[in-house]
Structure 1
Amino acid sequence: MRRTALPVVLALSALLAGCATAVRGTGDMGVVVERAAGRIQVVETSGMTRLATIDGFGDLSHASVVFARDGRYAYVFGRDGGLTRVDLLNAKVTHRTIQAGNSIGGAITQDGRVVAAQNYEPGGIRLFDAATLEPLADIPAIGPDGRRSKVVGLADLPGKRLAASLFEAGEIWIIDVADPRHPKVTKLPAGKQPYDGLVTPDGRWYLAGLFGEDGLALVDLWQSPPAARHVLSGYGRGSAPLPVYKMPHLRGWAMAQGKAWLPAIGRHEVLIADTANGWQEAGRVEVAGQPVFVMAQPDGRQVWVNFAFPNNETVQVIDTATRKVVRTLKPCRGVLHMEFTPKGEAVWLSCRDDNRVVVYDTTSYEPLATLPADHPSGIFFTSRAQRFGM
């Protein structure tokens, strides 16, 4: 036995050593979407480097990504209806299905077992097993008039539920997926043309922006039964809205200093709502253009804002204590997306028209790194897996 033990031990040690070099955690990993090329980059934020590039995702012109609860798998939703499951550690596609004709995003349930896709064509929500992408249920988005509606603002909620907004139908749906093969839907009137939606970090409130009227629709998810009501209804009263070049994204909103910081559609303003006082307007901040994303650093001290055309080369930083713009940056042409590192020491910006991603220090506002990318758009980090609605 002594003659064979040493070679076995050496072989085992070599194997373990080889495995050790390949093992890493997923907490600092993420995905950059290269929209024109139909591929993604796998990146890591600690060293600010690209780890891999993966092709074969189809139309990523309006792609979004959610993550498995352990951060290993990314689910990529493509504009062409493609739903793709990616193993980030091995940098390969594990499953892919064309589940609709036109899709703009999705969600993953609280327990990480069900992936949901929101679809424009045909309008509706489809549920899939997160491990296999086996279809579980198809929920047609039929409005009160009997016609199909586009689905937007899909978000995961506590209690194995989802929330979504129906654009043409003017409704918010709360969907119980405890039994994902037999989901139960509660339908709430919302207002004219809800265009996006989000859930607060504590999972209590679902908020939908309204394209067809001033204001937002708000649902208290702790209330039973839930009901929708209007808030911030008068923010544009008395003045004509500006042309809307790009719809603002509520999913990139900000919660800071106990307030909600929201993009005002058709305005050069960020709205502030007091969530402890019935979501009443608590102020406005004038900014350089029409906000698209209004995003808070993880500590809530600052809010970063990017803008629609023709101001999409600009990023502004708002100090939430003083409610003033404290820095205006011109990082590149076509800033489409921003994503903070998990604890907010840096922010990544996608520069579509300059074919790069730029990383900025959030204290000094100095650039830290530049990564080449082919017309990048969305940036998504695995830290989203631990937050509702992301």
Structure 2
Amino acid sequence: MSTSASLEARTGPDARVSDPKQDVGVKAKTSTHLISGAAAGLVSAFTLQPLDLLKTRLQQQQKANQVYQPTITKELRKLTHLKELWRGVLPSTLRTSIGAGLYFTILSTSRTYISNTKTAPPESGSKTSILPTLSPMENLLTGFGVRALVGIITMPITVIKARFESNMYSYNSMYEGFEGIYLDGSGNGQKGSIRNFFKGTLATLARDCPYAGLYVLFYESLKNDVLGKLLPVHESASSGDLTRSTVINTSSAMLASFMSTSITAPFDAIKTRLQLSTVQDSSNTIYSVTKQLLKEEGGIRNFFRGLSLRLGRKGLSSGISWCIYEELIKKNSFIGSLFSST
């Protein structure tokens, strides 16, 4: 149940206008979503960074030898130390924790607002979540729109993350990465450009927005209408319900991620190529990169290069993130108390 809905249930429908305590509750609830989302993103990003790094290197353009076809085994053999699998973990954790915190917060706020505009919100099917329950189309549109906003905000960190993970660039620090991207193509007396931090924005949004919309749609449907009805409800209150909700939320998150990732895979390959390209590269549009991928050896399969790694990474990431997020927001009283004095 949403924050404003639960307050209304305790105080009556007119209390939302005049009850000053509601502001404190909303503030605590927003803080809970922000912290829970950031914590979930931080854990998943750090844990699964090796899969992201390998996926990026499978998709990157091999300038030295265009015929060279990278594989997971070949890329692993290039590594001299195990810690190299976590190269780029700082921009990755920054992007994911900030992005997840903003995404979960804005998504919850949007869904709560839509839910509160209804006279009779639909009933939750699984009882494993306190999040608002919306129609499939509302889930699709809110996921799509919120991801577009957060994607644009975090795009500079996304570009740095892609370049750190690639072996085409040898940045030694975040500052060096920012400077290198800003000054990219600034020779011949030209100044750097802030636009370099938004390379591949359209391709990224074309991947992430449909993914997020489909993900929320699949996740809520699986959680409420499929797994929530297949797994029996325990009579005992504490441990049984916790285990059941964890299994349902984690399984729904992973299955939803598998389906959404497979559908949007081509845009991920295009996005990676665009973000790794320099100003001098002619392949700097979605159309030109698409033609290039089709002409290279492998043809249409190039759009799905690294899909197995992305399926594993996104599936595990979604399972970890949404499970942690759903369980943490149930602890609203604890997290909210951290901000109650401010």
Q: The TM-score by the shorter chain falls in which range?
A: under 0.3
Higher relative contact order, structure no. (Cα contacts within 8 Å, ≥ 6 residues apart) = 2
TM-score (norm 2): 0.23
Larger % of strand: which? 1
Larger % of helix: which? 2
TM-score (norm 1): 0.21
